[in-house]
Structure 1
Amino acid sequence: MENIKKAIRHLDRSMSERDQRSPIPFEEFLKILSEKPSAVIRDVFQVFHDMMKTYVNEGFDEYPNDPESINFVYYDCRKLFVEGSDNPFFADRLFANRLMNLVESLKRGAQQNKIYIFDGPPGCGKSTFLNNLLMKFEEYTNTEAGSRYEAVWRLNRKVLGNFNEAIFEKMFQMMDHPVKDEDGFVRRHNMLHSSQDSDEFFDEQTSPHLTEDYIEVPCPSHDHPILMIPKPYRRQFFDELFMNDEFKWKLFTDKEYDWVFKDNPCTICSSLYESLQNRLNSPLDVFKMLYARPYRFNRRLGEGISVFNPGDKSMKPVPLTNPMLQKRINSLLRDSNQVKYLFSRYAKTNNGIYALMDIKTHNVERLIELHNIISEGVHKVEDIEENVNSLLMALMNPEDKKNIQGQSFSDRIEYVHIPYVLDLNTEVDIYRNIFGGHIDESFLPRVLHNFARAIISTRLNIKSEAMLEWIKDPKKYYLYCDENLQLLKMEIYTGHIPTWLSEEDRKRFTAKRRRKIIAESETEGIKGFSGRDAIKIFNEFYSAYARDDKLINMNTLCTFFTKIRKDLSHSMPRGFLDALLRMYNYMILQEVKESLYYYNEEQISRDIQNYLFAVNFESGSVETCNFTGEKLEITEAFFESIENRLLGARIERAKRLTFRADAQKEYTSRTLTQEILVEGKPVTETRLYKDMHDRYVYNLKEKVLDPFLENENFRQAIKDYDEETFKTYDKRIRDDVTFLMNNLCNKCGYTNQGAKEVCIYVIDNDLARTFSIS
């Protein structure tokens, strides 16, 4: 029993600390307002913005110093859509930027008189997106950081002088001592039924508020308490309330705070204020009856958040009221029903979110009912006007746009596109979430992402005017890309600028071109494999080929799409899988070459410095290099030995001589006169040296595999690596294979098994010779 009592006390204390809903006097509220103005003075749009910024960190720009940046950055949306969710939603980079741009526009005050419709094809995750968004919004608004206040009136009975305490005491005594009639039934005193008025009087006074000193009248529209200050006096009031600081300047100048000075309270609060002012003749006494309490959101109860599905039948728009409360107000104020406690269901989501799941069937009617609210921000309830300042959202399939065509408020609709995922990293994250993070262990590096590329290729437009305007001759990137440049576009959509782009094309990748390419995503992702299709296809592929003893490689992937499920490849652009395989083969060949290549940096540096010095002298000269101090016999053989490493052994003599002359001209016109003598750079930091260093290293790497391809023992040693039989090989082969395996694991992220398999893949497919010919 002691443990039970302890647990209950702890529960009571914890819940009490969390659920502090008691209204506070307006004067106390103003104290909180003056201490934390930016947190207290917020409408639903500002709170929504703050919620998004709380769950989504600032965007990360991989190229912060890029002068052509268009602020297409990476937003980590996991806290918003994934963490704590039963059905995670994965926002790709394109949609995340779209959404955060919308949030910023809400913050700037561009939210008035609009409904935001998130449109996308079936299977793109629209419903999951909105449900998770609303869940986090409700969670945030019920925390201290996201709390807001709403107005509550406490009409003081004693001040308003509307009852005789002796009469009420008499009534209570009669209620507490009921009289039995001759048949033994309890009856009430006849005086309570002396007239129709007495019946109403009894109903009013037998409520739970009878013994209290006030009648509590909550604002059904959840109006902010500061709206009770008459509009003509608000500027002066806030001018005197706040110090001359940054917030005060923003309050009086920023668009996002226009509502503070323009919005009116609901008709109930307005008429209450006016009636109290007439009775009391003192605004101060009126404000003593004004209180503030936290605005609690509860989607299930429709408080602050209301969500309607297409199958939810429309109810007859009957005005809502509270007859008991209305009688009390009438009796207390004696104002001939001047204060009508009358409101609509829209009041429950005023300063909240009103959402429609798919614009079809009954939700079409609901959207049309929103006409006046979207256009004018008001709703008619019998003979009174009701202000509605809600964040209006809806979901829509593209084919359902016909349901709202021709509506006069169509210009008030802002569409936000939710396509199928076009960011390959996000597509892979979806597979990991569904099938578990361990799936990476079943694939060679790059192959899982290439599966995602194959899926995404069906969702992109085949022809891209923006890409072709940028890259006029796609064939020059034959080794890395497809003829439609989809592979390049996928990289751009992930925020990555490939290193294989030429310097010329990199410079041509201007901000204007970037915006045109990103803008094309608005028309993509509405066809091809849906999210559900992709998960089903991946499940079939993974279940068939995932094994413990062998990793999934590109041959397996291509076989699946071209032979096992040939029907799927028909949805991909012609030649895409060939280009994907070619890009993969080239990339892993470079990884193997990079991992096998061991060079003497000191020797390379000496060769380049000696060459830069020697080009300034005629062949046959003997000179001492100013950079290395070595005595050089400058002969044709000397030039040729270094030029073969810089240009390749097959280069024609005429081209070597042209290269030598160009190097001498660059050295004398810029390297020596500008960089070395004027700027004081060492020769190893000049542009000409770095260019030659890159050429030297590149050509060495290109030939690094040649000595090993003819050696069958090398291939077998790779297969036997980490086995007992590996010790039987020649020490030179063991050292080379060990060096290769360690670099692939440490630099390229392979496991031992993956490193072995990718090397065998490179050798068996003869990739070195294939790309040498290319």
Structure 2
Amino acid sequence: RPFFADRLFANRLMAHAEAMKSGAQQNKIYIFDGPPGCGKSTFLNNLLKKFEEYANTEDGTRFETVWRLESDLLDPADTDEAFPVIEKFINMMTSALQNGSPSYQKSGENTFSQRHGGNFSISKPPRLARGYIEIPCPSHDNPILMIPKHYRRTFIDELFPDGEFKSRLFNEKEYEWVFQDEPCTICSSLYQSFLYGLKNPLEVFKMIYARPYRINRRLGEGVSVFNPGDKPLRQNIISNPILQKQINRIFRGSNQIQYIYSRFAKTNNGIYALMDIKSNNTERAIELHNIISEGVHKVEDIEENVNSLFMAVTNPEDKKNIQSFQSFTDRIEYINILYVLDLNTEVAIYRNIFGNHIDDSFLPRVLHNFARIIISSRMKTRSEAMLEWIKTPEKYSRYCDKNLQLLKMEIYSGHIPSWISEEDLKRFTAKRRRRIIAEAETEGKQGFSGRESLKIFNEFYNTYAGEDKLINMSMLCNFFTKVRMDLSKSVPEGFLDSLLHMYNYNVLQQVKASLYYYNEEQISRDIQNYIFALNFEIGSVETCTFTGEKIEITETFLESIENRLLNGEVEMDKRLAFRRDIQKNYTAGTLTQEIMLEKKPITRTKLYQALHDRYVYSLKEKVLEPFLNNENFRRAIKDFDKKNFKSYDKRIRTDVTFLINNLIRMCNYTPLGAKETCIYVIDNNLAQKY
């Protein structure tokens, strides 16, 4: 099952990943904490699955140590009390040095080899055959750890040429283990025992090979997951009697090497995970206390290195099972997985569960508005960060709720609405944005859970979805206020009304933009002539240097353009202030800086663009006025794509066709959706209300 991470959780997770990569978080257990139904288990299962898949690819392959010994050492016919097998082995290796190197050793010298005798090279191991026995490292240690710590830096310095990788290897935290980690006790004992007899580390290295570390969750190799109902294992210590017998024969039954290890060794350099810390998993979590703290685990007389990534998921009510152990809680790093607060992620979940075809049953924006209602139940009604930014929320009452939740949802989704004033946009600094987003850590712990939201959506969809009519805002409001009145108790007071206001405003803007047809050349000439005219006295006649047109500069001329720039009739003192501001900007910046210094044409200057946006906005605001009381226009919309449509006046047919086609092209409406939206705007008189 997919897990849909909203932007907020994704940012938190990546921050933790970067911290782990740099080595900032050590000796920790990472617990994914969140309310029931938020997808914790799904997330962890998917994380483990992707880890297993990547670790078994060529790019993600890691290597583990395997000791390969010649099986001739174990020939029972050659055993002799006076001539122990280990002595026989040493003599055989000495003879090989005198008579020639083994066939699988490559020739060649390097400084490290010269200092320590013999030749050392990296070569492909021979195929496994009857002539060898293998002793795999139970802790999956990397072969590089078999080199004594005090030699590793010199060895690697000579092995790799100077460059970026070598610099990272020697200096970055994520590679610190190469120089600091110790091999497991079993490998250390094997190395020391063979070194004692051979007196030459390079001859010991010839017995060390690398093989891919294969991750297999089902076998508990590299990934091990425990559910609360999993019974404690009867045998915590793992051994291999056959291999132990062979080791004992090599070392003459001295018990120098005890090939025993715990279950933790199987996930060393892997992931050890607990699904919910309750029942049997409580004991498992507590058992991890000393292991996480010290990084070692006692297996009979042997100390075993444990270098796993420990993870768990828990519900808030289960935290009490481990909170009584203060020293353990200090080792816990909580990562919050909360209910989804990102609007687009919530909608993506519905599409994934119910299919992408659900979009075909909704008017645009209505499906997202359903998600907004669900998310509102998960948010706090008061936000100090939002109120510090927006001092008077009432000024946005047409588009937003009094608690500013609708605006906050947009910010959580990475979007700033167009209806935010220029003043508030300037006040929306990076610091304020971070403070608002930080509040997400305290939200998403209440309200409709992920499972509940799917049940609610399923009921809503089955109630209203049909072939002949699309789900609209009236149906959505009706469902929460009349069909399922119990659900509205979880929705903040007044939120549905504010959501309807925002929807009405947005669809009105879409219809206006789709009906709006303008002559760009005429608009451009008006703005250029206006900027030019402000530099001369009223009553003068001048030729505009931008357009080449002769202009009689009168109050009527200026007011005709200002009525669009200022969106209607305004008082004379405001007009004069506006003119002074434009003329000042032109002479102080546009003319001297952009036109004369930067050689920009007037149409590419900031002043021109600002006036152009004002002009177009004003035209769009008034575009519906001729059609509001025209019943033929409304009927023509209903009859669009029908035979009766041809009976209407050509001008009306042209306007309706232009409107419907633009809604389809620019706003992704279906033909049916475009028709229903236009009728909704006209019937609800939205142009007069907004």
- 2:304 aligned with 1:386, yes or no? yes
Which residue matches 2:167? 249
How far apart, in 2, do the equivalents of 1:295 and 1:111 lie? 24
How far apart, in 2, do the equivalents of 1:615 and 1:390 lie? 74
- 2:368 aligned with 1:449, yes or no? yes
Pick from 152, 161, 186 the counterpart of residue 66 of structure 2.
152
Pick from 248, 256, 280 the counterpart of residue 362 of structure 1.
280
User: Following superposition of structure 1 onto structure 2, how do residues 119-158 of structure 1 map, counting pairs within 5 Å?
Assistant: 119-158=33-72
How far apart, in 2, do the equivalents of 1:94 and 1:422 lie? 8
> Is the partner of 1:403 in helix, strand or coil?
helix
The offset of 1:498, in angstroms, is 2.3
Which residue matches 2:527? 608
User: Following superposition of structure 1 onto structure 2, how do residues 19-168 of structure 1 map, counting pairs within 5 Å?
Assistant: 87-158=1-72, 164=78
Contact 1:162 1:332 in 2 (8 A): no
How far apart, in 1, do the equivalents of 2:244 and 2:80 lie? 24
The one-letter code sitting in structure 1 at the alignment partner of 2:274 is: L
Q: Describe the superposition over 1:160-215 as per-residue Cα deviations: whole angstroms up to 9, x where unpaired.
A: 88751899xxxxxxxxxxxxxxxxxxxxxxxxxxxxxxxxxxxxxxxxxxx93333
Which residue matches 1:516? 435
User: Following superposition of structure 1 onto structure 2, how do residues 619-658 of structure 1 map, counting pairs within 5 Å?
Assistant: 619-658=538-577
Aligned length: 643
Which residue matches 1:214? 132
Which residue matches 2:489? 570
The offset of 1:103, in angstroms, is 1.9
Q: Describe the superposition over 1:441-500 as per-residue Cα deviations: whole angstroms up to 9, x where unpaired.
A: 001111101110110011111111111112222222222221111111111111122232
The offset of 1:316, in angstroms, is 4.8
User: Following superposition of structure 1 onto structure 2, how do residues 265-664 of structure 1 map, counting pairs within 5 Å?
Assistant: 265-316=183-234, 318-334=236-252, 336-407=254-325, 408-664=327-583
Which residue matches 1:174? none
How far apart, in 1, do the equivalents of 2:75 and 2:194 lie? 13
> Is the partner of 2:323 in helix, strand or coil?
coil
How far apart, in 1, do the equivalents of 2:24 and 2:192 lie? 32
Which residue matches 1:49? none
Contact 1:162 1:331 in 2 (8 A): no
Contact 2:340 2:444 in 1 (8 A): yes
Please list every run of at least 4 consecutive aligned residues from structure 1 whose deviation after the TM superposition is greater than 4 angstroms: 159-163
How far apart, in 2, do the equivalents of 1:657 and 1:723 lie? 53
Which residue matches 1:675? 594
> Is the partner of 2:348 in helix, strand or coil?
helix
How far apart, in 1, do the equivalents of 2:447 and 2:154 lie? 59
> Is the partner of 1:618 in helix, strand or coil?
coil
**Distance change >3 Å, CA 621–CA 122, structure 1 → 2:** same
Structure 2's unaligned 5+ residue stretches are: 82-128
How far apart, in 2, do the equivalents of 1:214 and 1:695 lie? 84
How far apart, in 1, do the equivalents of 2:537 and 2:195 lie? 105
> Is the partner of 1:389 in helix, strand or coil?
coil
**Distance change >3 Å, CA 232–CA 673, structure 1 → 2:** closer
Contact 1:118 1:395 in 2 (8 A): yes
Contact 2:322 2:328 in 1 (8 A): no
> Is the partner of 2:310 in helix, strand or coil?
strand
Pick from 176, 186, 196 the counterpart of residue 258 of structure 1.
176
Contact 2:74 2:246 in 1 (8 A): no
Contact 2:624 2:687 in 1 (8 A): yes
Which residue matches 2:607? 688
**Distance change >3 Å, CA 281–CA 443, structure 1 → 2:** same
The offset of 1:310, in angstroms, is 0.9
The offset of 1:673, in angstroms, is 3.5
How far apart, in 2, do the equivalents of 1:438 and 1:752 lie? 16
Contact 1:422 1:493 in 2 (8 A): yes
Which residue matches 2:668? 749
Contact 1:157 1:163 in 2 (8 A): no
Contact 1:157 1:332 in 2 (8 A): no
The one-letter code sitting in structure 1 at the alignment partner of 2:426 is: K
Structure 1 window deviating more from structure 2 (642-651 vs 418-427): it is 642-651
> Is the partner of 2:217 in helix, strand or coil?
coil
The offset of 1:560, in angstroms, is 0.8
Contact 1:160 1:333 in 2 (8 A): no
> Is the partner of 2:69 in helix, strand or coil?
strand
The offset of 1:569, in angstroms, is 1.3
The one-letter code sitting in structure 2 at the alignment partner of 1:312 is: D
The one-letter code sitting in structure 2 at the alignment partner of 1:227 is: L
Contact 1:621 1:633 in 2 (8 A): yes
**Distance change >3 Å, CA 676–CA 154, structure 1 → 2:** closer
How far apart, in 2, do the equivalents of 1:420 and 1:163 lie? 70
How far apart, in 2, do the equivalents of 1:248 and 1:161 lie? 46
How far apart, in 2, do the equivalents of 1:618 and 1:283 lie? 98
The offset of 1:697, in angstroms, is 1.2
Contact 1:609 1:627 in 2 (8 A): yes
So what's the TM-score if we normalise by structure 1? 0.81
**Distance change >3 Å, CA 274–CA 585, structure 1 → 2:** same
Contact 1:741 1:752 in 2 (8 A): yes
How far apart, in 2, do the equivalents of 1:727 and 1:335 lie? 103
Q: Describe the superposition over 1:623-657 as per-residue Cα deviations: whole angstroms up to 9, x where unpaired.
A: 22222222222222222222212223332233223
Q: Describe the superposition over 1:391-450 as per-residue Cα deviations: whole angstroms up to 9, x where unpaired.
A: 110001112222111321222211111001111111111111111110000011111011
**Distance change >3 Å, CA 587–CA 631, structure 1 → 2:** same
So what's the TM-score if we normalise by structure 2? 0.90
> Is the partner of 1:570 in helix, strand or coil?
helix
**Distance change >3 Å, CA 490–CA 565, structure 1 → 2:** same
RMSD over aligned Cα atoms = 1.9
The offset of 1:111, in angstroms, is 4.1
> Is the partner of 1:409 in helix, strand or coil?
helix
The one-letter code sitting in structure 1 at the alignment partner of 2:397 is: Y
> Is the partner of 1:123 in helix, strand or coil?
coil
How far apart, in 1, do the equivalents of 2:199 and 2:614 lie? 90
> Is the partner of 2:133 in helix, strand or coil?
strand
Q: Aligned residues: percent identity?
A: 72
Pick from 584, 589, 599 the counterpart of residue 665 of structure 1.
584
Q: Describe the superposition over 1:541-592 as per-residue Cα deviations: whole angstroms up to 9, x where unpaired.
A: 0001011111111111111111111111111111111111111110110110
The offset of 1:338, in angstroms, is 0.9
Structure 1 window deviating more from structure 2 (652-661 vs 227-236): it is 652-661
Pick from 697, 702, 710 the counterpart of residue 621 of structure 2.
702
How far apart, in 1, do the equivalents of 2:549 and 2:352 lie? 61
Contact 2:339 2:444 in 1 (8 A): yes
How far apart, in 2, do the equivalents of 1:232 and 1:120 lie? 46
The one-letter code sitting in structure 1 at the alignment partner of 2:210 is: A
**Distance change >3 Å, CA 152–CA 674, structure 1 → 2:** closer
Structure 1 window deviating more from structure 2 (701-710 vs 640-649): it is 640-649
Which residue matches 2:651? 732
**Distance change >3 Å, CA 649–CA 242, structure 1 → 2:** closer
